[in-house]
Structure 1
Amino acid sequence: MTVEKLIVENIDIWTTALQTRSTAGRGSSGKIDLYGIKKLRELILELAVRGKLVPQDPNDEPASVLLERIAAEKAELVKQGKIKKQKPLPEISDAEKPFELPVGWGWVQISEIGHDWGQKTPDEDFTYIDVGSINKEYGIIEEPSILSAKDAPSRARKIVQKGTVIYSTVRPYLLNIAIIESVFSPKPIASTAFAIIHPYSEINANFIYYYLRSPVFINYVESCQTGVAYPAINDKQFFSGMIAVPPSSEQIRITKKIKELMFLCDQLEQHSLTSLDAHQQLVETLLTTLTDSQNADELAENWARISEHFDTLFTTETSIDALKQTILQLAVMGKLVPQDPNDEPASELLKRITQEKAQLVKDGKMKKQKPLPPISDEEKPSELPIGWEWCRLGECINLISGQHLRPDEYEEECHGEMLPYITGPAEFGLISPTYSKFTNEKRAIAAKSDILITCKGAGLGKLNVADTNIAISRQLMAINVISMNSEYLKIVLDSMYGYFQSKGVGIAIPGISREDVMGPLIMLPPFEEQKRIMEKLYKLNFLIEDIKFRIKSAQQTQLHLADALTDAAIK
């Protein structure tokens, strides 16, 4: 079967095998990874370097003859003083060869198919090529810098020329690989972060480029790289890697075919991304009609329109997450459940909250709050459902600001009745906080069931719930809920994530103030309606999680199919 036929006959697998990449911040809706097309690209390169992408031509001069001419070319360059003479390399044993090669191919070490140009310290203006200069999608040098000798970084040492292939040996998984296709003026010098390989005259630079990006070479690099945060290989390891060399004519046919098939992958990728974007825009547009509904009849009509196409609209984790957020928005807008005229109005609930806060102040259990500014009619963005009230968030809560402890005020292990001490969202678990520090200090304590909100750093606005009494640092505030359904208030806060993010002040460590938490307006429903809203949300969340599980299962099946198809094609 030709590769073109393999692609066409399995187009559904390549285009429907999707994966959601996790991202920092709230929620789990990351970008979509086109896993099937990614596997197809890998397969093309794998087949290419194994000699299975294009048919062999028995009339081609075998690689062994090519390698003999390379040896003669190398000897001449040594004689001219352009390169250094290498020590003889040991013969590659059969056990070292990763797979069997087609007739006419040969195994050699990478050091045998090219050379470097040495190093120099810049003594005049030069074109500096570092990792940031590479457009790794196209494998070209895109944004080199022109520097003077006095501004040369200490890493600017390696000489390169037009036709040189450069390979970043630092974090090699990023595949910062390129061919220098232009003559730069002033003369170029590359960073020592690159391994330099200038192909001998009958080795195709594009073939080397694709080989270095292939799963075969990636697996080799992963087997010998060192380091965790910044894995790397050294030049010796790079040049000791093996490469399967085809006849010269076949190198050209292979690179031509790779480019054709990668262009086809580009088209598939663009079509898939366009379809996914259009799908998500349609989902968001239809969901917006729900939150924009002016009355119950219009809401029912808009929901009926969505329900009619539910199975085609909600097919990705991203669309399901959008549905979940819309349902939360409807809940806090009073559009999720009908109002009951028999409910005690929220105005009475506010009175009880005020009385309870006064009692807590009197009992010394909370500090007296500064009066919050009155709510003007201009601040109220919309009409309220029957029985609801506008209020400031600070009217419903007791807000506790965290305090950092000095290192001598906490310990890594718990002794006796010490309190857990949490320093920020990085220590939060999926359900409840986890702890790594403990203290006897009791300056800023969140009580069990208090809502914790991140008020500083990258996780600004993220929420969690304390599962025990806990000391909190300045990165957190604790929201003690008064006379309200605490789970309902948590979904209100969850719906305000965008607001908290927008209020962050500072670049390196953005933060929000107490006023940012106390001041915003919220729509307060009657207490009984709060309970009905949560009951409805529990049921809907159960259905949503079930749909999400089925989507994940279907996606997993597609991923396995893409993997199986790739393995079968290679074998």
Structure 2
Amino acid sequence: MSHLDTLITDHLDLWTAAVRPKSSAGRGSNSKLELTGIKKLRELILELAVRGKLVPQDPNDEPASVLLERIAAEKARLVKEGKIKKPKALPEISEEDKPFGLPEGWEWVKLGEIGYDHGQKTPDSSFTYIDVGAINKEMGFIDSPTVMAASDAPSRARKIVKSGTIIYSTIRPYLLNIAVIDEDMSPEPIASTAFAIIHPFDGVLSSYVYRYLRSPCFVNYVESVQTGIAYPAINDKQFFNGIIPLPPTEEQHRIVAKVDELMALCDQLERRSESQLAAHQTLVETLLAMLTDSADADELAQNWARLSTHFDTLFTTEASIDALKQTILQLAVMGKLVPQDPSDEPASALLARIAAEKAQLVKEKKIKKEKPLPAISENEKPFELPQGWAWCYLQEITFLITDGKHGDCNNLDNSGFYFLSAKNIQNGKLVYDNARQIVESEFAEIHQRTDLEAGDICMVNTGATVGKMAMAQDHIYTRKTTFQKSVAVIKVASNYISNRYVALFLESEIPNLLKLSGGSAINNLLLGDLKRKLLPLPPLVEQHRIVTKVAELMVICDQLKSRLKTSQQTQLALAESLVEGALS
């Protein structure tokens, strides 16, 4: 067994345990986790391969220097026969250009010296079109090319390719859209100009070059020369100027075989890890459902006690901790989180007092009369409420639900009047760093609409972050703040209702609010839908007990997340140190 085989098998748990959250993923899915340890292992395999450390050298192999002499002769012949253009001389490789030393028999060489480009043509008959979408980049072959008529050819369909040609996407190269044309295609294949094309000379394996182009060594080179931020790219000249460590032909064969063998092992580890993560998430969801199915607070307490003894083994991913948070919120609004007290004033009395105050405010012309909403039918109620609770519409317990200006304003730096949008709602707070400031007269016009006060709930109602909230604080900027259309302002009847309970309820409803708003990046939650949102209302004293209990349990969740993050960082550091040790 080789040193790398031992490195993998002796540390299987580490490679599979080293995970981290993906930068972006769908809510509550296992895809939130990136299997970073296995990803690093794949990179290590490729890096060791191209450094000559993956398979032993054989002194009987013909050295790469002799291969290069043959390539030079073949190149001269092809130029003479007019099959390829005479290549431009490439700059010499200096010692500083070489990222690491090579074994005996290997040579550093420019990519442009080990292969050639077939040139371009405008399709004149039916052809097989290969664009980025046609390749299977993970497996490195052409998956779904399109046969097109010459008259339908896009302007990018120009590059000639043949069996054995390697295609490398030069646009957003970090996506590693690379493949080998592994068979003769009919009709004639033509690739997009988004690819750099290299067809290796005899003695250089396309399969070896393909693997090198995916290695950290070449990725680092590309990152050092690419231009552009949103769509970084390199050009053909930069591609052919990249250097490649060239082993003897026989060793190339051995390297490719060994890389494939080890990548198959990584595939097995990945499947096992994903299967375990999926099973783990199913277990967590089943046990959390047991909590929400508890008949009352006493049964919940017993189920919680059983669950809490296994916290360290159950809540080991961000997705599982997020699911726990969502369950806590759900239990809270179902009346199962804290016990009821029959002596509490019932919610029905709160609703009657709010209705009386709203009628008085309408009479005094301080608020507008609302359109009446239909009575709530039994079929609409999603679950049964405890004694003393009542179902109501969000509109019934608020004095105003509105949104910001449906248009733009003129900026005026240092005016002291703020015009915030969805991006200014972060971690439950209104963030004023680099916030827009606008002309006072325009502010006054919008402020009449939103009239922000301490305790108001500000909620994103448009875009990808619908449901994200902040509660306005007693702040020097509060009375000088208004909003763009993307934020709704909810003024709770706070003499009778805890605005923190309402915020907690809205947070529990975020998955449903997203569905209601369209469930995409262009979500739009209508104010009418928000006003008609059904809310389970507890007595006021119980609202306060619920808010306190949820805050206490969220601290536990945050501690779990913090511990998880530390554990993930430790596992990643260990994986990285193993990689460094293997390369040194």
Matched, 1:546 2:559: yes
Instruction: Report the equivalent of 2:452.
Output: 447
The alpha carbon displacement at 1:93 in A equals: 2.1
Q: List aligned pairs for 1:147-546, cutoff 5 A.
A: 147-404=148-405, 406-407=407-408, 409-415=409-415, 418-422=416-420, 424-430=421-427, 431-434=429-432, 435-440=435-440, 441=442, 442-443=445-446, 444-448=449-453, 449-467=455-473, 468-469=478-479, 470-483=481-494, 484-505=497-518, 509-546=522-559
- Report the TM-score, using the length of structure 1 for normalisation: 0.95
1:450 partner amino acid:
D
SS of match in other structure, 1:128: strand
- Report the TM-score, using the length of structure 2 for normalisation: 0.93
Tell whether the 8 Å contact from 1:356 to 1:482 is kept in structure 2 after alignment. Answer: no
Instruction: Report the equivalent of 2:22.
Output: 21
Give me the whole-angstrom Cα distance separating, in 1, the residues matched to 2:100 and 2:221: 13
Give me the whole-angstrom Cα distance separating, in 2, the residues matched to 1:429 and 1:380: 32
Bigger mean CA deviation after superposition, 459-468 or 65-74: 459-468
2:243 partner amino acid:
M
2:487 partner amino acid:
L
1:427 partner amino acid:
N
Tell whether the 8 Å contact from 1:420 to 1:439 is kept in structure 2 after alignment. Answer: no
Bigger mean CA deviation after superposition, 23-32 or 266-275: 23-32
SS of match in other structure, 2:48: helix
2:320 partner amino acid:
S
1:447 partner amino acid:
L
Give me the whole-angstrom Cα distance separating, in 1, the residues matched to 2:177 and 2:198: 14
2:405 partner amino acid:
H
Give me the whole-angstrom Cα distance separating, in 1, the residues matched to 2:141 and 2:466: 39
Instruction: Report the equivalent of 1:564.
Output: 577
Bigger mean CA deviation after superposition, 426-435 or 262-271: 426-435
Tell whether the 8 Å contact from 2:30 to 2:281 is kept in structure 1 after alignment. Answer: no
Give me the whole-angstrom Cα distance separating, in 2, the residues matched to 1:24 and 1:356: 45
Give me the whole-angstrom Cα distance separating, in 2, the residues matched to 1:403 and 1:432: 15
The alpha carbon displacement at 1:463 in A equals: 2.3
Give me the whole-angstrom Cα distance separating, in 1, the residues matched to 2:22 and 2:463: 22
1:455 partner amino acid:
N
With over 3 angstroms needed to count, the CA separation of the structure-2 counterparts of 1:220 and 1:6, relative to structure 1, is same
Tell whether the 8 Å contact from 2:425 to 2:469 is kept in structure 1 after alignment. Answer: no
Give me the whole-angstrom Cα distance separating, in 2, the residues matched to 1:31 and 1:232: 28
The alpha carbon displacement at 1:507 in A equals: 7.0
Give me the whole-angstrom Cα distance separating, in 1, the residues matched to 2:303 and 2:48: 51
Give me the whole-angstrom Cα distance separating, in 1, the residues matched to 2:562 and 2:29: 13
Q: How many matched pairs?
A: 567
Bigger mean CA deviation after superposition, 510-519 or 497-506: 497-506
With over 3 angstroms needed to count, the CA separation of the structure-2 counterparts of 1:365 and 1:26, relative to structure 1, is farther
The alpha carbon displacement at 1:381 in A equals: 3.1
Give me the whole-angstrom Cα distance separating, in 2, the residues matched to 1:240 and 1:380: 68
The alpha carbon displacement at 1:516 in A equals: 0.8
Tell whether the 8 Å contact from 1:159 to 1:190 is kept in structure 2 after alignment. Answer: yes
Q: Deviations over 1:159-179 (max 9, x none)?
A: 001110000000000000000
Tell whether the 8 Å contact from 2:180 to 2:210 is kept in structure 1 after alignment. Answer: yes
With over 3 angstroms needed to count, the CA separation of the structure-2 counterparts of 1:100 and 1:412, relative to structure 1, is farther
Q: Deviations over 1:299-329 (max 9, x none)?
A: 2342233223222111122211111111111
Instruction: Report the equivalent of 1:121.
Output: 122
Structure 1, unmatched stretches of 5+, are none
The alpha carbon displacement at 1:29 in A equals: 8.7
Bigger mean CA deviation after superposition, 379-388 or 292-301: 292-301
2:510 partner amino acid:
Y
With over 3 angstroms needed to count, the CA separation of the structure-2 counterparts of 1:109 and 1:569, relative to structure 1, is same
